[in-house]
Amino acid sequence: MSDPVEVLKRFHDAVNAQDYEVIEGFFADDATYGSVKVGTLRGKPAILAAFRRYFAEYPDQVAHDDGFTKLSETSAKSSWHLEATSATTGEKLIRSGEETIFLNAEGKIERVDVSDS
């Protein structure tokens, strides 16, 4: 079984690099991604489309992990903060929160829960 903290760290590295091919490889086909900002996304295609839309709007995002916690053999949580600039309005976005991932038996992300602070 994959260490969920290591999976979460590598996943965040791929997100920060905006490497969609690598991001896609982390998710199970039927994964869900939940956030107040995007609602609940179901399935890898919907999740990847949301990442692409987000980074089209905030191409300069810089995200930082403040810490990681292993919750179980199949889940981990990170606390994070980020800054980005809207490509449409030029407004700064500053966010912080927590993200929890849950892995399936193959070590793929089957669920992501994001909450803002």
Domain boundaries, the chain: 4-116
What tokens does 79 get? 């606390």
* pTM of the full structure: 0.94
Q: What is the mean pLDDT of each run of 10 residues along the chain (117 residues)?
A: 93 97 97 94 97 97 96 98 98 97 97 96
Query: Is the C-alpha dihedral spanning 65, 38, 15, 104 positive or negative?
Result: positive
pLDDT recorded at residue 37: 84
Q: Which CATH number fits the domain 4-116, given the four candidates 3.10.450.50, 3.30.470.10, 3.30.43.10, 3.20.20.70? A: 3.10.450.50
